[in-house]
Structure 1
């Protein structure tokens, strides 16, 4: 059905081919096949590593990977707290937290930290959880039972590591894979909830003192997909955007995309870029052709 729609739109037959299956079967076959010259994958870092290994063992096919993230959202001391809370809330809780570039490490300057935490908690408590097809619902279920249990496991880890559970932390309702919007404060960089990609509705709020400190701490992550900055100061915004080792930096906004803006990560968040000419370059190869202007002597 999908192929017929593309053909109706003018795509020649055979250009698009849909192969259904899971990773160990269809995915592994494509990644290791000698006649496949290019693989693009979006998903977890763990699966990305497997794909890269299979490609290397076959025909050294070109691979682009858009993988996991643990993106910092940095709230500076001059921030309008109410606006910062709302944007940080969106950056983390969008799509039940199941977003590779989610702002899942919320760094807040110590001057506004306490106010931010209280308002972030209040905002999370008003978030409407339920059937995503119903009007007014902001948050639906996690994608699977496996992910549901994984997120609850991270919440348990946060409690056990002495982070402060401000709200949430439990299953929502008695059916389905719904999780209460969860906010942790007093989170430290060495806690699992500050290091691992939770991929769920769990906001971790960390305190910082100055720009140099937050740059160092934000860059210690093994991921580098994206970052958010909330400030009124253009010098602060420029300093942070240049220093953060991530593929995308959003200033006073988050999750803003355009077909021409490159998207992809540093470090374990991936290889290559999507969108526009940056994406097309991944599917092209450079060829050099050399010919003499005169007949050489040996001809």
Structure 2
């Protein structure tokens, strides 16, 4: 029997939401010259704020500001001095963590307990970690005196708005670069609050610039001739376009793209622990995770037991108000993403897979999708091949480790994987054979600023996090 929980909403009063937001260029907020757009709450469809759109001319102003700051202030500044600014930013993020968590959940739709306990602490940790690297770049594997690239153009997605910002900005600044960052058009508000934090930290003008807008703004940034480095996290389709536009230039490029991760459960796995890992692997952040464990591979002998336990556990998940501290499943980020999830789920039905959704009440307003699993799935099904980017799990079976490896690797993606077994030797053997950038052992979706993250094949190239994350922002040692 499921427990009944009284509502435990987090207060919105801690966030000072402005009615409109400008661009952040050269240390100041300025109006954009494009057409303003609205940022809405996915849970209620209410308008949160009106946001300026950066035109091509605005992007040029931001890049010019970043270039001036790089040449006159940030580039020549000793690493130990840059570190002080990064430490200051990290501390302010920690001090304002509750405010940032509430705004992230409002703008993105994710549960407050995920913003509060996962996203914002990691953001602060990322800045703390790379602050420690700022005066130690000679040990980053790029020679004894590595040099920054210059101006970095960075484009981030809507699923982890502030965390993706930290993954991009912290290593870039530590390495001595300046940045122009474009957040996703559906989730710009925490990036603009971060701009206020940069002001609070007295970061020199032009070191961080934030331009808001949709695809055209991102394209103007990526293709700008005075950008030295492009970093993008998002869909594989857009990643291909960016790679084509950068080809033939001197720009450095890192891409962190889509995924269709296999979460592999062997018969000897601790099943209750594995079920928690399966749930966290696909339903965390409503499945809006590029490394989500969206393909579950279960050894045949425990398939029935795992499925029974999984359905029982899914029945306890609470869907609803993202600001309620009891909520497990928040809102889908946008109407467009909800339509994509529904489309591919209907394809799963049409192709003969068996759908089961957790029993839950869907709110009248906002964008919602119940946690769903498909059984009877084969590798030929589209739901097993294409990234759904929602709370939808495809369940397949295997008999031998070799079959598990073959099925797990049978994908154009290669971002992550999970292995559940009590045998350490099997974990090491599987990890060696799985073509994935990250392999989790008896856990899933664990992140650490000291550990590199990135993919193979259509999941992109380059690494973020750890010493490896600095390499993307430093010149090759001659």
After TM superposition, the score normalised by the length of structure 1 is: 0.91
**Change in CA separation of 1:171 and 1:222 when aligned onto 2, cut-off 3 Å:** farther
Shift of 1:60: 3.7
SS at match of 2:393: strand
**Change in CA separation of 1:4 and 1:147 when aligned onto 2, cut-off 3 Å:** closer
Q: Is the CA contact 1:125–1:181 (under 8 Å) kept in the aligned structure 2?
A: no
Q: Where does 1:1-299 land on structure 2 (aligned, <5 Å)?
A: 2-23=194-215, 25-56=216-247, 59-168=249-358, 172-288=362-478
Identify unmatched segments of 5+ residues in structure 1: 289-299
Q: Is the CA contact 1:151–1:200 (under 8 Å) kept in the aligned structure 2?
A: yes
Shift of 1:169: 9.8
- Name the CA distance, whole Å, in 2 between partners of 1:55 and 1:169: 47
Shift of 1:7: 3.8
Q: Please tell me the root mean square deviation across aligned C-alpha atoms, in Å.
A: 1.7
**Change in CA separation of 1:171 and 1:37 when aligned onto 2, cut-off 3 Å:** farther
Shift of 1:138: 0.6
Shift of 1:271: 1.1
Name the residue aligned to 1:297: none
SS at match of 1:139: coil
Q: Is the CA contact 2:319–2:360 (under 8 Å) kept in the aligned structure 1?
A: no
- In the TM superposition, what whole-angstrom CA distance separates every residue of 1:29-69 from its partner, at most 9, and x where no partner exists? 11111111101011111111111111125x24111011100
- Name the CA distance, whole Å, in 2 between partners of 1:170 and 1:124: 10
SS at match of 2:210: coil
- Name the CA distance, whole Å, in 1 between partners of 2:285 and 2:419: 21
Q: Is the CA contact 1:171–1:179 (under 8 Å) kept in the aligned structure 2?
A: no
Name the residue aligned to 1:295: none
Instruction: Give 1 or 2: higher helix fraction.
Output: 2
- Name the CA distance, whole Å, in 2 between partners of 1:170 and 1:163: 21
Aligned residues: 286
Identify unmatched segments of 5+ residues in structure 2: 1-192
Shift of 1:208: 0.5
Q: Is the CA contact 1:186–1:207 (under 8 Å) kept in the aligned structure 2?
A: no
Q: Is the CA contact 2:265–2:420 (under 8 Å) kept in the aligned structure 1?
A: yes
Q: Is the CA contact 2:417–2:436 (under 8 Å) kept in the aligned structure 1?
A: yes
Shift of 1:171: 8.8
Name the residue aligned to 2:10: none
- Name the CA distance, whole Å, in 2 between partners of 1:169 and 1:160: 22
- Name the CA distance, whole Å, in 2 between partners of 1:115 and 1:284: 50
Q: Is the CA contact 1:99–1:199 (under 8 Å) kept in the aligned structure 2?
A: yes
- Name the CA distance, whole Å, in 1 between partners of 2:196 and 2:276: 42
**Change in CA separation of 1:80 and 1:63 when aligned onto 2, cut-off 3 Å:** same
- In the TM superposition, what whole-angstrom CA distance separates every residue of 1:238-281 from its partner, at most 9, and x where no partner exists? 11100000000100111111111000001000110001221111
SS at match of 1:203: strand
